[in-house]
Amino acid sequence: MRKTVFLCGIAFAFIGVVHAALPHVHGEAHLEITLEDKRLVMTLEAPLEVALGFERAPDTAEEKQKAAALTEQLRHPEQLFALDPAAQCVFAETGIESPVLAAKRAGHVHEEHAHEARAHRNPHEDHEHAGHAHQAEETHHDLRAHFQATCQKPEVLHGVDIMLFKVFPRLSRLHAVFAGPKGQRAGELDARHPRFSW
């Protein structure tokens, strides 16, 4: 019951506030979708843990490789989201916000997308950890990515199949909200229910 109330709060926060502070829950991510005329914008926010398995700056060669692979993956939104083909949507460039990835960007993302890390929330609030003890010095970082597409027939765009669950096996739940000309929808998706319709 608490969960339901919580989700409503997120939906309203998304619609009313651009940079609403979202809870940082390992294994879960948020996707905001807006459709305005032919322009589709999707903003994904997830703990870096979901995408990388760690949330600090990459240190070892393996971690650096993972961070580089993630950045490259995010630049291919067609591998993350399947939009209804009839809508004829074409993705544009991805914008990535992540202080941790930014530190190791190594030229993979153009500077114009290197937004300042947003003023970070207090690392001691908005946390839920299922499996491990919370340590005082523990820090958490989020990944935020903006995907944009232009759709020639937005009127026949009725949903998106989320492929993030295959790409990021640590992702167990996605909270999605949509706002478009016909109204707003909110949904909760997982690997067994990866389609978000509106």
Q: Interface with Zn ion by CB under 5 A: which residues?
A: 47, 49, 140
Q: Which residue lies nearer to Zn ion by CB, 56 or 113? A: 56
List of residues 6+ apart from 193 with CB closer than 8 A: none
List of residues 6+ apart from 36 with CB closer than 8 A: 180, 181
Residue 11: CB minimum distance to Zn ion, A: 23
The β-bridge partners of 34 are 41, 179
CA nearest to 50, candidates 170, 146, 175: 170
Residue 163: CB minimum distance to Zn ion, A: 23
Q: Which residue lies nearer to Zn ion by CB, 28 or 49? A: 49
Token pair of 123 as six digits = 């690392």
Q: Which residue lies nearer to Zn ion by CB, 47 or 95? A: 47
Kindly give the pairing relationship between strand 28-36 and strand 173-180. Answer: parallel
Q: Which residue lies nearer to Zn ion by CB, 19 or 129? A: 129
Per DSSP, 150 falls in state E
Q: Which residue lies nearer to Zn ion by CB, 12 or 54? A: 54
Q: Which residue lies nearer to Zn ion by CB, 47 or 187? A: 47
Closest residue to bound Zn ion by CB: 140
Residue 98: CB minimum distance to Zn ion, A: 13
Residue 65: CB minimum distance to Zn ion, A: 21
Residue 99: CB minimum distance to Zn ion, A: 13
Residue 161: CB minimum distance to Zn ion, A: 27
